[in-house]
Amino acid sequence: MAAAPHQWFDSFGDLATWFGSIGTVAAFGVGFWQIHRERKHRLLREMGERMRARRTHADQVSVWIADSELVIANRSGHPIHDVEVLPEDARTAGDGADGLDAPPIRIRFVLPGEHRQSVRQPAHVAALPAITFTDARGDRWHRAPGRPPALAGTHGRIGPDRPSSPGDDVE
């Protein structure tokens, strides 16, 4: 004999139990979503803090050209090496950009303090060239005029694709 329609519905429980069950599942879903969202924000915040900590050394290195002299100010307290100064990226002040078509200036080491070197440039032109260097940790940095330092990848490309060891640099 077939069950009456209301008996069939009653075999699955009452409406209050269904609403309670759906509410419990929804509460677990919202809880997991909040945990995931908080974890993602925490990881992004920690990654930003680690990057700022890595960048503290590079933030204290600056370069400029004045009076036909290249000045590299390394105020980090640690030497930098494999320095490459790019005068063609310079922003100039004065009558023109005469003499800024020079090739990159390469310096093997720059100790803490100021490093000065003569360059071929008219004395009336002041410039802020771009600089690329490796810090004491082995991170390669590029700093364009008026910008914060950014990690430089292999062969001067900007980005986090720096090889993990010197032998990995193969293209």
**pLDDT tens digits, residue range 17-46?**
888 999 999 999 999 999 999 999 999 999
Report residue 149 as tokens.
Answer: 């330092």
Q: Is 26 left (phi over 0), alpha (psi -120 to 50) or beta?
A: alpha
DSSP-assigned beta bridge partners for residue 46: none
Other residues' Cβ atoms within 10 Å of the Cβ of residue 66: 14
What's the mean pLDDT when you consider all of the chain? 78
pTM exceeds 0.85, yes or no: no
